[in-house]
Structure 1
Amino acid sequence: PYIKSLKLPNLTIASPDMGGSYRARTFAKFFNAEVIICDKRRKRANEIESMSIIGDVTGQDVVLIDDICDTAGTLSKAAALIMENGAKSVRAVCTHAVLSGKAYETIENSVLSEMIVTDTIQLDSEKAKQSTKIKVLSTADLFAKAITSVNQHSSISDLFEVE
């Protein structure tokens, strides 16, 4: 609902790596949007050797979709590459924001216009308060519906299906 509320005119969904391509395609289908994928090659953990884009981002409002954000290195590098290739704007959505090390600083210094995260992991409250880019969305309603469904012996899969 939050992404829909932004009413981005030229929405393109992006995956920051090949592993998230299915997730990105699912979101793109839901939003009836194009999808692009960042192809990343790593030297070792948390160190990107190179990255390239599969797809066209020219003039697009790009939303990077990821499950976990640890150091924010991949998302910030992908965002920079997307902007360098002509995107109008780029923001990121991440379900689980670990945000270790210099992640807050990396996000603040990135070209991301916004980093949207959920409250499944408690953020550093001081750093999160100081951030101009981090938006936290609550999962309370989703969990409440899931608990109600379980108590009523009904399926919770409807909560996660994309039409």
Structure 2
Amino acid sequence: MRDDELVVIGGSASPLLTKEICQILNVPEGKGEVLRFSDGNLFVKVGQNVRGRHVYLVQSTVFPANDNFMELLFWVDALKRASAASITVIIPYFSYAKGDKKDEPRVSIRARVCAQSIEAVGADRVVTLDLHAPQIQGFFGIPVDDLYALPALTDTIAAENLSDLVIVSPDAGFAKKAKQYAKRLNAPLAIADKERVDHTENARIVDLIGDVDGKNAVIVDDFTITMGTLAEVADCLIDRGARSVRAAVTHGVFTGKAMQRLDASAIETLYVTDSVENSPVTASSRVHTVSVAPLFAEAISRIHRRESLSILFS
């Protein structure tokens, strides 16, 4: 398989991540353009010959979620009609992953609709990062690789050389993943008991399981939007005697007053990946970005050379 068969194209939601991936792979960025008309319509055009080539499309689906998701579909369709040999969709942040079940009457399973659309339009494979619900992989009839940001985030935390470290899960649902963070960092685990009663993106911390007294706490989660839960857990940790509080989150989907909440909270540093790069809010000085470009570049390289991706999950 020749190197010139590989093409990496970035959608308008992930230009910086695409650029870094291409630099790591030592390949030129694929050419293309996206136009937005006054009536809201999108126009996507592939700017080079991709006939018979293996294309990797990098596109997060947020800010705005619907526009960027439709753009992703149009890219895949354009590449398919341009006779690409294969199309692998790299989705750093899959925004509709929260809609993974029918948990109340008369609602759509939105993640399944998105999965079926990506498959129907012609994608051959999907590579994503820390899906909110791993079972979404089963919504696709094509291969899906759900990569982990855990190694990159834990390496960054370990570099802080914090003593008396404790990992904190913000709720019981994330406890299993938080345990992996704790194991990798050789630290104990604490779990906050969170209660959510509606769709307002607000939750209430009702209890904390585990000892955090005198310890440097790190809250871990897959994403944050309003910073409400993280800020409340941080305050709870300080009340329980924690020496300091940090947080590590894969997807920083910041909206509204998220940065004001962060700056007003006990969280000293918030580690996030660059899976979301077009947030409408300006990041606080407390936000530390950890690049996942090396992770995606390695995945692309292994897929392209028909090598196993198992090492990326170990």
TM tier relative to shorter chain? over 0.9
Corresponding residue for 2:231? 76
Corresponding residue for 1:135? 288
Corresponding residue for 1:4? 158
Output the amino acid matched with 1:37. I
Q: SS in structure 2 opposite 1:80?
A: helix
Contact 2:269 2:287 in 1 (8 A): yes
Equivalent of residue 311 in structure 2, options 152, 158, 162: 158
User: Structure 1: how far apart are the matches of 2:187 and 2:205?
Assistant: 26
Q: How many residues align?
A: 159
Q: Quick check: 45-54 or 113-122, which moved more?
A: 45-54
Corresponding residue for 1:107? 262
Q: SS in structure 1 opposite 2:191?
A: strand
Q: SS in structure 1 opposite 2:276?
A: coil
Corresponding residue for 1:34? 188
User: Structure 2: how far apart are the matches of 1:49 and 1:97?
Assistant: 20
Q: 1:123 offset after TM fit, Å?
A: 4.5
User: Structure 1: how far apart are the matches of 2:307 and 2:211?
Assistant: 42
TM-score, normalising length: structure 1: 0.92
For the structure 1 residues 53 and 123, does the alpha-carbon distance in structure 2 shift closer, same or farther, using more than 3 Å as the test?
farther
Equivalent of residue 21 in structure 1, options 172, 175, 182: 175
Q: SS in structure 2 opposite 1:113?
A: strand
Contact 1:97 1:123 in 2 (8 A): no
User: Could you list the per-position Cα deviations for residues 130-162 of structure 1 after superposition, in whole angstroms to 9, with x for gaps in the alignment?
Assistant: x1211111111111111111112112231122x
For the structure 1 residues 158 and 37, does the alpha-carbon distance in structure 2 shift closer, same or farther, using more than 3 Å as the test?
same
Q: SS in structure 2 opposite 1:44?
A: coil
User: Could you list the per-position Cα deviations for residues 69-105 of structure 1 after superposition, in whole angstroms to 9, with x for gaps in the alignment?
Assistant: 0111001100110111000111111101111121111
* Structure 1: gaps (5+ residues): none
User: Structure 1: how far apart are the matches of 2:168 and 2:204?
Assistant: 20
Contact 2:255 2:281 in 1 (8 A): no
TM-score, normalising length: structure 2: 0.49
1:149 aligned onto 2:302: yes
User: Structure 1: how far apart are the matches of 2:299 and 2:237?
Assistant: 36
For the structure 1 residues 93 and 123, does the alpha-carbon distance in structure 2 shift closer, same or farther, using more than 3 Å as the test?
farther
Pairwise CA RMSD of aligned residues?
A: 1.4
Q: Which has the higher strand share?
A: 1
Q: Quick check: 147-156 or 68-77, which moved more?
A: 147-156
Equivalent of residue 244 in structure 2, options 85, 89, 105: 89
User: Structure 1: how far apart are the matches of 2:232 and 2:248?
Assistant: 15
Corresponding residue for 2:208? 53
User: Structure 2: how far apart are the matches of 1:85 and 1:102?
Assistant: 26
Overall identity of the aligned pairs, in %? 37
User: Structure 1: how far apart are the matches of 2:206 and 2:215?
Assistant: 19
Equivalent of residue 44 in structure 1, options 157, 181, 198: 198
Equivalent of residue 64 in structure 1, options 205, 211, 219: 219
Runs of 4 or more above 3 Å deviation = 123-126
Larger radius of gyration: 2
Q: 1:125 offset after TM fit, Å?
A: 7.5
Contact 2:205 2:233 in 1 (8 A): no
